[in-house]
Chain A
Amino acid sequence: MLKSLSDWLSETPASLVLQTEFWIVPTLQSVHILAIAMLFGALGWFGLHLIRDGTASPDIVRTARPMCRWAGAALLVSGTLMVLAEPDRTLPNVLFQVKMGLLVLLIMTAAATFRLAAAGDHGTSAPRARLRGLGALALALLVLIIIAGRWIAYVE
């Protein structure tokens, strides 16, 4: 099914435009990597506070959350266009599918982590332990997503 979807997508006018211009794919990939860097910086900073302290100050949440959202939006747009530009190389690829699965998990984990960190009272040990775990999980998922993304080019 994904193969037929990628075949259909690759024949659409939008995909044909993206395929014919040589500079588009490297530019999209550059934007994608820059957005990953932004996400890594913000989520890493937030996550390391959680892992170390079991909490993050409201200032950190207020700074990191919008940065993660902006980076996520840039990743969504650039990633969608990259799929449209090279559907045969992405959609049927098993690591691309793994990456998308991990991405869903990361979005859910990060949303839950920010919500819990922003909720306020984390004086008891349970939320601190949960926040530590969620912070570590979010960072681990991000690292796995970056690794899976890089290996798409090397796996059929």
Chain B
Amino acid sequence: MNFRGLLQDLEATALATAIRESGWLFPILETIHVLALTLVVGTIALVDLRLIGFVGRAHPVTRLTTQLLPWTWAAFAFAVASGLLLFASSAETYFDNLAFQLKLGALALAGLNMAVFHRLAYADVHSWDTAHPSPRAARCAGLLSLVFWVAVVVLGRWIGFTLR
């Protein structure tokens, strides 16, 4: 079976049909998605702005990440779950939408940037935890993270205006 066939099967499931045809399931899922995504972006932006040196210079980076990242990951889990259910409701339409494809690309880049940051700059964070400015690699990672997450939000908003 080809990939498009899988998307059609996904759309035909009872759950996807219920989301598509119900008057309230889609808005509820969308509300959860927006709440979760704004919490993800808000908490990540706080860490990014600290890395860049815009805010919170008095806070050690590790204290911020320890306090915020559990909330980020919990919210991310809700965003992914609600996003998958929204996608299932019209899988083929979303899959063909350019804004949706670019949003997934921006999400992948944000994830890659975070993985590289944790592997490289964050590995010796205790040597620059309270330093100002943060090392160049950390500032770059913070800036790139902001750019990618802004792109995720903007492209996500454009999906609703470009669906056919």
Contacts and interface: CB of A to CB of B under 8 A. Distances in A.
Interface residues of B, number: 30
A21 interface: no
B153 A147 contact: no
B157 A37 contact: no
B35 A38 contact: no
Interface residues of A, number: 31
A117 interface: no
A147 to B, nearest CB: 6
Q: Is the interface of B mostly helix, strand, loop or mixed?
A: helix
B3 interface: no
A36 B35 CA distance: 9
B92 interface: no
B42 A40 contact: yes
Interface string A1-40: 0000000000000000000001001110110011011111
Nearest to B46: A41
B30 interface: yes
Contacts of B67: 45, 48
Interface of A: 22, 25-27, 29-30, 33-34, 36-42, 44-45, 48, 59-60, 62-63, 66-67, 143, 146-147, 150-151, 153-154
Interface of B: 27, 30-31, 34-35, 37-46, 49, 55-56, 58-59, 67-68, 71, 150, 153-154, 157-158, 160-161
Nearest 7 interchain pairs by C-beta: A41-B42, A37-B41, A40-B42, A59-B58, A37-B42, A37-B38, A63-B56
